[in-house]
């Protein structure tokens, strides 16, 4: 069974750093991309970016470029979403998901993690 | 990249059909057959319901169907059931960012 299991909820202060994780199992993690999606409270879904093997295979939504860092450790079947300096506006639910790609083009997100709630408040 | 346009709400009575639209541009919805639809119940992660415009993943009831005409894709839910009440999001590949773009979401209410 394909599963994406995310790390637990976080409460942080503005300016702090944070890394959340997404561990895949039940499939060949190294052969698939991982996507990160943001959902702010009461709002819709937003693409953040996707990663395959590393920096050379990472695409960011321009709205998130420079705001977050996406990385992956294929040996641990785990993807990461990192912030170096959180803002209150980063408060949101963050989902990882498995994109189905066709010739490098995104087709759909077929499996999703359970979400990680990040709360940033002074 | 602007979000795809969906109506904020839709409703129907049990047993009826309802259609939710998703309008984009020739650079996303209209240019590629890579439209997908997601169902999200409150407090839950989204679930893939339709991919590549009209294909259903295993386990999704055939009451859910998708189509596309020009720059507008549609999700139709036939034979509405109480458990279909949820938020629905469309998504498409977007050439502008070589990623994807979501619609703003539609809250489906079963009356």
pLDDT value for B3: 87
B13-50 per-position pLDDT tens digit: 999 999 999 999 999 999 999 999 999 999 999 999 99
Which of A59-63, B49-53, B58-62, B94-98 has the least mean pLDDT? B94-98
- A115: contact with B, CB 8 A cutoff: yes
Collect all residues from B whose CB is shorter than 8 A from any CB in A: 1, 3, 32, 34, 36, 38, 40, 45-48, 51-52, 57, 89, 91, 93, 97-105
Q: In what order do the strands lie in the sheet with A18-25?
A: A3-6, A18-25, A78-83, A69-73
| CB-based contact A59 B98, cutoff 8 Å | yes
Using the beta-carbon criterion (under 8 Å), do A61 and B34 form an inter-chain contact? Answer: no
Place of tokens 């300096």: A85
A61 contact B CB<8A? yes
Mean pLDDT in residue range A29-33: 91
For A54-75, write each residue's pLDDT tens digit: 667 899 999 999 999 999 998 9
């Amino acid at each position: 069974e394909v599963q994406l299991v995310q790390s637990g909820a976080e409460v942080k202060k503005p300016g702090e750093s944070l890394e959340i994780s997404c561990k895949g199992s039940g499939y060949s993690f190294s052969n698939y991309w991982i996507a990160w999606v943001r959902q702010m409270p009461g709002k819709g879904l937003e693409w953040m970016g996707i990663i395959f093997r590393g920096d050379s295979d990472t695409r960011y939504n321009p709205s998130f470029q420079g705001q977050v860092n996406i990385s992956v450790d294929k040996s641990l079947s785990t993807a990461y979403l990192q912030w170096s300096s959180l803002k209150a506006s980063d408060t949101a639910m963050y989902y990882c998901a498995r994109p189905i790609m066709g010739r490098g083009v995104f087709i759909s997100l077929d499996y999703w993690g359970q979400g990680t709630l990040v709360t940033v408040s002074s | 990249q602007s979000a795809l346009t969906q109506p904020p709400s839709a409703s129907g009575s049990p047993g009826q059909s309802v259609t939710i639209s998703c309008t984009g541009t020739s650079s996303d919805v209209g240019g590629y057959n890579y439209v997908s639809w997601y169902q999200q119940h409150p407090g839950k992660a989204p679930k893939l319901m339709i991919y590549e415009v009209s294909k259903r993943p295993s386990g999704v009831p055939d009451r859910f169907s998708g189509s596309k005409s020009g720059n507008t894709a549609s999700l139709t839910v036939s034979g509405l059931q109480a458990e279909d009440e949820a938020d629905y999001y469309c998504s498409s590949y977007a050439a502008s960012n070589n990623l994807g773009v979501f619609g703003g979401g539609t809250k489906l209410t079963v009356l």
